[in-house]
Chain A
């Protein structure tokens, strides 16, 4: 009927298909002003002054501010993973006396018309005295503000006896690897509309996403408002991927504009701004070495890496280095381990999280290392992995370190079984034989495989309120957000399962701070696990109430009754049935309440850990060094799939983003710090011409031990080891003669590597 496990078509689709979506740019209010942000055009410099007079003189311009008008408003703080010493690196809403990246907001303009606001921007003169730029986190740190250096934090994760591991090693394998700077780049740019509601005086910000409650509280604190007087509202959201919905300077400026100017204020980012102002991500350089015994068993791994944080530490604080370091060991035992992460500031756009943050990078590093270990020992690349996998008998497996502030304990998993199942599903031996024959015939084609462990379901809590009406409909009010991933359908399916109610009669409310007191939002692949569990809990209580009432009405024991197809009746189908609406009315007898309400909360101090394998077949063009992907195969164990169609959609979409980061996408900078990737013609994302068919094998071998449903999240596992698998495939295509140690593998880069590896006389 559409409960858990059904490939149910999404309930959110029809309005989107009719062009009736309500995205931020689609919202308008009478009398609204349009905001335009003036951005620094120099990557690093002393801000001597900003002249707004010409802009203010333009007809239609209502106000223009610099940092001087924002006196007393603090910089933007941190939402998670705060460590000591970070405060100095927060981004001010408008630059005060230094600018630190091209695109940094230095002034803001409010005008009657968006075109006029843009005209006015061009009339603003910012006087900036250039300073030397720092563009690599692996370079020696420099000065940040005269008092602080550019190394904002060092994160260390370690366990076991590394000295003993290296002393016992038969081989030591060392590598220097890097992953380029790329990011989520959703198709909808950022934007919002702020208003002071006439009458109530409540400040409402429309166009919120991801973490509305956290941002409501943060904006209230920054502007000195009572949080009860401000509400954030999420409409349709055109893709999140981790970068949208964090608190940015523009959100604060929108609210401040509405408060001070007494008119609604709208802001829609343009694509050029987006590419230099919204969070970048990745951009890590790793040096890693492994101690290996004669059989290919890795005894210990030591890694040091540099995370290019860009110009400021944004809301995630040290989330990315924390996850990159903690999740680096992945599915392998690695009895001794030490990772040292240096988070360093440069004069590039500030960085944050992007789908599989930290794991895309460290999976690339770990899996390239495993390939190198195999190659060094002359072993098969799959066999080396088998020799190091954590056995199912060791689950739950406690690493003895933390990730995102929670103990890193893999709750369940049978890694070897997934490997067996995926190899069988793709016909691995025959596939490899076919590729070998093609290589023999002169083609450069090869297969790469990469293993990964993901995490999902970050707590600490999520609440839901379920309201049943007298017509037999249900409304589920959650504190999570939807960023286009199908949250409404998946959550409706979970409730449908408990109450026997068709999903079409269930309405899911999310992202509205005035509907529920608290909520964690949508990040870290947490929604299905956390909110889904809360729904299962509250739903079970409602079911008990309803069945008790039905038992009295039908004169049957409650245990003999079931809720199904929107009514209560005997399990064996005999006797009368009561429609849900009538049953709700009966429960409410004697009260004038319109709805039967139940609340539920789910708490968890642990994450749950899905896992998977990516495989890619790549062909290299001898002339152009261009890489063509022929096949992608993903095996992913999700514990239990609420809606396999949506899970596959997440995996395939995530895989495309992994492909982008592996072959195409890169924010490049000129030597003076000017960004070179500020249009979609320079920042290249995969189209359907670059994407091969993605075959997805979803398994449910290892249900989660966290929560009542057994589900693990699917949001990020399409992306995690895609870069690693593609690199391995290109490496195999070239017969192991060319070191593939950096992403993205662009034709120019690969051409240079090939030329260096086999110089033509």
Chain B
């Protein structure tokens, strides 16, 4: 089946089997391997992307369901010349990653948190980020990174 959608602002078309997941379509058909698969059953959140502005688990959707959607992936965060954005810089400064496998999922989830109309507070941050798993960092660096980015962007409540 043919699917048309945008990824990080650029229009895309792909020819996919109906059973192919959105994650596989992004990775294999679009070559965007920044979206990772840690479980393929909706628990770990490594595959989190933003679809029409909301975070989704790309392993739990089929590619064909993305028809007409605007998708954002980790590859769209940095500037075209590769300059890291505030959230990415915060992850580097606060040691928010070790192996980096979970990182794209956390970055996309945090991007959504930082773009919501309400300012971010500690409880909301912990609650939302608890839907993703990181096996390396013990989360302290991730929480510090998101907190620092929110502060830098004027999105931190308190």
B-contacting residues of A (Cβ < 8 Å)? Answer: 9-10, 12-14, 16-21, 23, 25-26, 115, 184-189, 236-239, 241, 270-271, 483-486, 645-646, 648-649, 652-657, 679-681, 685-689, 691, 693-694, 718
A484–B97 CA distance with the chains assembled, in angstroms: 9
Cβ contact of A688, chosen from B73, B104, B129, B136, cutoff 8 A? B129
- A13/B97 in contact, CB under 8 A: yes
- A187/B99 in contact, CB under 8 A: yes
A390–B82 CA distance with the chains assembled, in angstroms: 54
- A652/B140 in contact, CB under 8 A: yes
Which 5 pairs across A and B sit closest by C-beta, in order of nearness?
A: A19-B34, A484-B99, A16-B100, A238-B101, A656-B138
Q: From known contacts A187-B38, A187-B101, A187-B102, infer whether A19 and B43 are also in contact, taking CB-CB under 8 Å.
A: no
A18–B82 CA distance with the chains assembled, in angstroms: 8
**A653 surroundings in chain B (CB, below 8 A):** 98, 135-138
A351–B136 CA distance with the chains assembled, in angstroms: 21
**B93 surroundings in chain A (CB, below 8 A):** 9
**B95 surroundings in chain A (CB, below 8 A):** 9-10, 645-646, 648-649
| Further contacts, 13 of them, CB under 8 A, given A17-B74, A653-B135, A679-B39 | A13-B92, A14-B92, A115-B17, A115-B19, A187-B38, A187-B133, A187-B135, A271-B38, A484-B99, A655-B138, A688-B142, A689-B126, A694-B140
B111 close to A (CB within 8 Å): no
A675–B47 CA distance with the chains assembled, in angstroms: 26
Q: Distance (Å) between the CB of B133 and the closest chain A CB?
A: 6
What would 20 A/B residue contacts be, using CB atoms closer than 8 Å?
A10-B95, A13-B91, A16-B103, A17-B103, A18-B88, A19-B32, A19-B75, A26-B33, A115-B19, A484-B101, A484-B136, A652-B141, A653-B135, A653-B138, A656-B138, A656-B139, A680-B39, A681-B41, A687-B131, A688-B129
Cβ contact of A236, chosen from B99, B135, B141, cutoff 8 A? B99
B69 close to A (CB within 8 Å): no
Q: Mark B116-132, 1 if CB is under 8 A from A, else 0.
A: 00000000001101111
Interface centre among A484, A648, A654, A688 (most CB of B within 10 A): A688
Interfacial residues of chain B within 31-64, with CB under 8 A of chain A in the complex: 32-41, 43-44, 46
- B41/A13 in contact, CB under 8 A: no
Q: Distance (Å) between the CB of A675 and the closest chain B CB?
A: 15
Q: From known contacts A19-B32, A25-B33, A26-B33, infer whether A484 and B43 are also in contact, taking CB-CB under 8 Å.
A: no
**B36 surroundings in chain A (CB, below 8 A):** 23, 25, 187-188, 238
Q: Distance (Å) between the CB of A231 and the closest chain B CB?
A: 23
Q: Distance (Å) between the CB of B76 and the closest chain A CB?
A: 9
Q: Distance (Å) between the CB of A272 and the closest chain B CB?
A: 8
- B74/A687 in contact, CB under 8 A: no
**B141 surroundings in chain A (CB, below 8 A):** 649, 652
- A21/B34 in contact, CB under 8 A: yes
Q: Please name the residue on chain A nearest to B33 by beta carbon.
A: A26
A679–B39 CA distance with the chains assembled, in angstroms: 8
Interface centre among A9, A13, A645, A693 (most CB of B within 10 A): A13
Q: Please name the residue on chain B nearest to A649 by beta carbon.
A: B95
A486–B140 CA distance with the chains assembled, in angstroms: 17
**Count of A-B residue pairs with CB < 8 Å:** 174
Q: Mark B12-42, 1 if CB is under 8 A from A, else 0.
A: 0000010110000001000011111111110
**B41 surroundings in chain A (CB, below 8 A):** 271, 679-681
Q: From known contacts A653-B137, A680-B39, A685-B135, infer whether A19 and B104 are also in contact, taking CB-CB under 8 Å.
A: yes
Q: Distance (Å) between the CB of A595 and the closest chain B CB?
A: 28
A679–B73 CA distance with the chains assembled, in angstroms: 25
A239–B36 CA distance with the chains assembled, in angstroms: 13
A694–B100 CA distance with the chains assembled, in angstroms: 21
Q: Please name the residue on chain B nearest to A22 by beta carbon.
A: B33
A685–B78 CA distance with the chains assembled, in angstroms: 31
**B114 surroundings in chain A (CB, below 8 A):** none
Q: Please name the residue on chain A nearest to B21 by beta carbon.
A: A115
Q: Please name the residue on chain A nearest to B136 by beta carbon.
A: A653
- A9/B92 in contact, CB under 8 A: yes
B3 close to A (CB within 8 Å): no
Q: Distance (Å) between the CB of A31 and the closest chain B CB?
A: 15
Cβ contact of B43, chosen from A10, A238, A679, cutoff 8 A? A679
Q: Distance (Å) between the CB of A18 and the closest chain B CB?
A: 5
Query: How many interface residues does B have (CB within 8 Å)?
Result: 55
A239–B101 CA distance with the chains assembled, in angstroms: 8
**A648 surroundings in chain B (CB, below 8 A):** 95
**A484 surroundings in chain B (CB, below 8 A):** 98-101, 136
**A681 surroundings in chain B (CB, below 8 A):** 41, 43
- B38/A188 in contact, CB under 8 A: yes
- A17/B133 in contact, CB under 8 A: no
**B82 surroundings in chain A (CB, below 8 A):** 14, 18
**A718 surroundings in chain B (CB, below 8 A):** 138
A693–B39 CA distance with the chains assembled, in angstroms: 27
- A185/B130 in contact, CB under 8 A: no
- B143/A486 in contact, CB under 8 A: no
**A645 surroundings in chain B (CB, below 8 A):** 95
A652–B39 CA distance with the chains assembled, in angstroms: 24
Cβ contact of A25, chosen from B37, B91, B131, cutoff 8 A? B37
B150 close to A (CB within 8 Å): no
A184–B101 CA distance with the chains assembled, in angstroms: 15
Q: Please name the residue on chain B nearest to A26 by beta carbon.
A: B33
Cβ contact of A187, chosen from B34, B35, B44, B130, cutoff 8 A? B44
B71 close to A (CB within 8 Å): no
**B20 surroundings in chain A (CB, below 8 A):** 115
Q: Distance (Å) between the CB of B152 and the closest chain A CB?
A: 15
A206–B39 CA distance with the chains assembled, in angstroms: 21
Q: Please name the residue on chain B nearest to A20 by beta carbon.
A: B34
A270–B39 CA distance with the chains assembled, in angstroms: 7
Interface centre among B34, B38, B99, B135 (most CB of A within 10 A): B99
- A187/B134 in contact, CB under 8 A: yes
A185–B73 CA distance with the chains assembled, in angstroms: 25
B113 close to A (CB within 8 Å): no
**A680 surroundings in chain B (CB, below 8 A):** 38-39, 41, 43-44, 133
Cβ contact of A270, chosen from B40, B46, B102, B104, cutoff 8 A? B40
Q: Please name the residue on chain A nearest to B141 by beta carbon.
A: A649
Q: Distance (Å) between the CB of B97 and the closest chain A CB?
A: 6
Q: Please name the residue on chain A nearest to B102 by beta carbon.
A: A187
Q: Please name the residue on chain B nearest to A268 by beta carbon.
A: B37
- A17/B91 in contact, CB under 8 A: yes
B107 close to A (CB within 8 Å): yes
**A241 surroundings in chain B (CB, below 8 A):** 135
A16–B107 CA distance with the chains assembled, in angstroms: 11
Cβ contact of B138, chosen from A18, A483, A652, cutoff 8 A? A652
B77 close to A (CB within 8 Å): yes
- A19/B33 in contact, CB under 8 A: yes
**B75 surroundings in chain A (CB, below 8 A):** 18-20
Cβ contact of B107, chosen from A17, A21, A649, cutoff 8 A? A17
Q: Distance (Å) between the CB of A721 and the closest chain B CB?
A: 16
Q: Distance (Å) between the CB of B85 and the closest chain A CB?
A: 9
**A12 surroundings in chain B (CB, below 8 A):** 100
Q: From known contacts A13-B92, A18-B77, A680-B133, infer whether A691 and B97 are also in contact, taking CB-CB under 8 Å.
A: no
A18–B33 CA distance with the chains assembled, in angstroms: 11
**B127 surroundings in chain A (CB, below 8 A):** 689
A23–B91 CA distance with the chains assembled, in angstroms: 19
A656–B135 CA distance with the chains assembled, in angstroms: 8
**A186 surroundings in chain B (CB, below 8 A):** 99, 101, 135
Cβ contact of A685, chosen from B35, B99, B129, B133, cutoff 8 A? B133
**A10 surroundings in chain B (CB, below 8 A):** 92, 95
**B43 surroundings in chain A (CB, below 8 A):** 679-681
- B142/A17 in contact, CB under 8 A: no
A657–B136 CA distance with the chains assembled, in angstroms: 8
Q: Distance (Å) between the CB of B1 and the closest chain A CB?
A: 15
